[in-house]
């Protein structure tokens, strides 16, 4: 048996998206409709009814974990997904190159994304990684750049704390904040961590200010990437691997670092697919081919597709509908054609609803589809929110992967 889980980020929508129908309902999805006709549908509350999910917490829950007890913050998944070697005790952040201007009151954030910088980030990261922190003995850090202004920062040393605030003011024209212990956590570890972070922030500005990459940017009229904003402090969560629970080996195919990071934290192996960007321009066909190939080596594969969520945040119904149609033709189509349907179970769902009229995640459940030899077919014939509400699987919370693995008889028995 083999299993494949596809999560389309932000897939769900509201009837207000396109004047009566959700983007998913409006999209032409012949392959998903055929799978629905051959399998069964239901609605899944990614975390639980009425819980408004983040992508990281939703993924943990869909993969079978309880985010309320395990989740420590986003930063650790960003660090893992970007390829940093996260160890117990490290404190991890998601980071941004930003543009600041030195004024009398301090460093003012001019552009939180440094003009969405497109080149030179690795050179800037190399300059950062030459910094040696001195204020707090025994604390070191690693910084790595990913796409555009994005990156990850990892702090390592004795007795650090994840209970520190961020330096991102979340608005242009505002002063960069100082890192502080979170209220209620003013202990020695949080004070050490904040001190090390404040030294890093100061020295990063000194290291980047006159860097050749930034001199060129200024000459070209682009905002210099002369500061690092860090947020989402987290330490390594204690997540038992899927292998240890179910005895099966899995791989993840995802463009976005966050999703690779969540899957790595759950013990999956990452497969890099050139052209998988984590955006609307991603190469879905390449992801389909990589997933099919990976099933030769792995028991199950998790494929993450981000674009629909981006279009939802951009409040662009046409882009969201078009991307869902691309998922159907370029990802699901090749899977339908090439998977061995006598020996494969597939689940297809979203990690939450991102309606275009709201432009952010909302609490509504998302459709979930299961198909394969063990799945009892229901009466549904198309893949969409309302049709899923009539599906044979009813409505449940999270745990889409454990249910999928259960169809392949890989679930351990609870009790005797």
Nearest distance, CB of residue 232 and Zn ion, angstroms: 14
What is the residue-wise DSSP string for 362-384? BS--EEEEEESTTSPP-S--S-S
Is residue 385 within 8 A of residue 351, CB to CB? The reply is no
Can you give the three-state secondary structure of 304-324, one letter per residue? EECHHHHHHHCCCHHHHHHHH
Per CB under 5 A, 25 contacts Zn ion? no
Which is closer to Zn ion, CB of 299 or CB of 385? Answer: 385
Which is closer to Zn ion, CB of 58 or CB of 190? Answer: 58
Is residue 384 within 8 A of residue 47, CB to CB? The reply is no
Nearest distance, CB of residue 334 and Zn ion, angstroms: 23
Which is closer to Zn ion, CB of 56 or CB of 199? Answer: 56
Which is closer to Zn ion, CB of 299 or CB of 309? Answer: 309
Could you say which of 33, 78, 309, 328 contacts Zn ion (CB under 5 A)? 309
Is residue 399 within 8 A of residue 61, CB to CB? The reply is yes
Using the contact rule CB under 5 A, the part of the chain among 141-149, 309-317, 336-344, 363-371 near Zn ion is 309-317
Contacts to Zn ion from residues 351-410, by CB under 5 A:
351
Nearest distance, CB of residue 360 and Zn ion, angstroms: 7
Nearest distance, CB of residue 177 and Zn ion, angstroms: 24
Nearest distance, CB of residue 312 and Zn ion, angstroms: 7
The residue whose Cβ lies closest to Zn ion is: 55
Which is closer to Zn ion, CB of 9 or CB of 330? Answer: 9
- Its sign, for the CA torsion 208, 212, 215, 217, is negative
Q: In what order do the strands lie in the sheet with 269-270?
A: 269-270, 250-253, 300-305, 2-8, 344-350, 366-371, 40-45, 395-397
Using the contact rule CB under 5 A, the part of the chain among 88-96, 175-183, 205-213, 305-313 near Zn ion is 305-313
Nearest distance, CB of residue 350 and Zn ion, angstroms: 8
Could you say which of 18, 22, 29, 55 contacts Zn ion (CB under 5 A)? 55
Using the contact rule CB under 5 A, the part of the chain among 50-58, 107-115, 276-284, 292-300 near Zn ion is 50-58
Nearest distance, CB of residue 256 and Zn ion, angstroms: 9
CA distance linking residue 228 with residue 155, whole number of Å: 14
DSSP at 260: H
Beta strand pairing status for 269-270 and 250-253? parallel
DSSP at 411: P
Number of residues that bind Zn ion (CB under 5 A): 4
CA distance linking residue 174 with residue 167, whole number of Å: 11
Nearest distance, CB of residue 62 and Zn ion, angstroms: 10
Nearest distance, CB of residue 315 and Zn ion, angstroms: 12
Could you say which of 2, 3, 7, 9 contacts Zn ion (CB under 5 A)? 9
What counts of helices (H) and strands (E) characterise the chain? 16, 13
Using the contact rule CB under 5 A, the part of the chain among 43-51, 150-158, 316-324, 346-354 near Zn ion is 346-354
Q: What is the dihedral of CA 60, 296, 270, 11, to 10 degrees?
A: -50
Task: Measure Cα distances from 173 to 108, 231, 237, 389, 393 in Å.
Answer: 6, 18, 35, 47, 51
Which is closer to Zn ion, CB of 9 or CB of 364? Answer: 9
Which residues of this protein are in contact with Zn ion, per CB under 5 A? 9, 55, 309, 351
């Amino acid at each position: 048996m083999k299993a494949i889980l596809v999560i389309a980020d932000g897939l769900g929508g509201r009837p207000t998206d396109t004047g009566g129908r959700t983007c998913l309902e409006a999209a032409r999805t012949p392959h998903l409709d055929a799978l629905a006709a051959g399998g069964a549908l239901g609605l899944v509350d990614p975390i639980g009814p009425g819980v408004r999910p983040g992508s990281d917490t939703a993924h943990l829950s869909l993969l079978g974990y309880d985010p309320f007890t395990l989740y420590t913050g986003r930063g650790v998944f960003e660090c893992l997904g970007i390829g940093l070697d996260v160890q117990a005790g490290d404190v991890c952040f998601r980071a941004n190159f930003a543009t600041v201007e030195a004024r009398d009151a301090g460093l003012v954030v001019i552009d939180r994304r440094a003009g969405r910088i497109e080149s030179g980030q690795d050179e800037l990261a190399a300059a950062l990684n030459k910094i040696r922190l001195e204020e707090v003995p025994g604390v070191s850090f690693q910084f790595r750049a990913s796409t555009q202004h994005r990156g990850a920062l990892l702090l390592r040393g004795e007795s650090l704390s994840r209970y520190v605030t961020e330096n991102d003011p979340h608005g242009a024209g505002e002063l960069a904040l100082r890192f502080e212990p979170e209220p209620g956590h003013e202990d020695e570890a949080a004070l050490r961590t904040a001190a090390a972070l404040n030294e890093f922030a100061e020295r990063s500005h000194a290291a980047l200010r006159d860097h050749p990459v930034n001199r060129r940017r200024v000459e070209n009229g682009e905002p210099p990437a002369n500061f690092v904003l860090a947020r989402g402090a987290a330490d390594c969560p204690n997540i038992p691997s899927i292998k240890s629970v179910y005895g099966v080996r899995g791989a993840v195919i995802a463009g976005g670092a966050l999703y690779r990071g969540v899957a790595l934290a759950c013990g999956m192996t990452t497969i890099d697919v050139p052209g998988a960007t984590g955006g609307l321009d991603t190469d879905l066909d390449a992801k389909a081919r990589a997933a099919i190939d990976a099933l030769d080596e792995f028991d199950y594969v998790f494929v993450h597709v981000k674009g629909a969520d981006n279009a939802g945040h951009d409040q662009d119904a046409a882009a969201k509908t078009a991307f869902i149609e691309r998922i159907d033709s370029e990802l699901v189509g090749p899977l339908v054609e090439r998977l061995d349907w006598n020996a494969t179970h597939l689940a297809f769902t979203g990690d939450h609803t991102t309606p275009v009229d709201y432009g952010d995640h909302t609490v509504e459940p998302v459709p979930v589809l299961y198909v394969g030899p063990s799945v009892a077919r229901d009466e549904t014939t198309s893949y969409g929110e309302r049709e899923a509400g009539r599906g044979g699987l009813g409505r449940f919370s999270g745990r889409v992967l454990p249910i999928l693995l259960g169809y392949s008889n890989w679930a351990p028995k609870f009790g005797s």
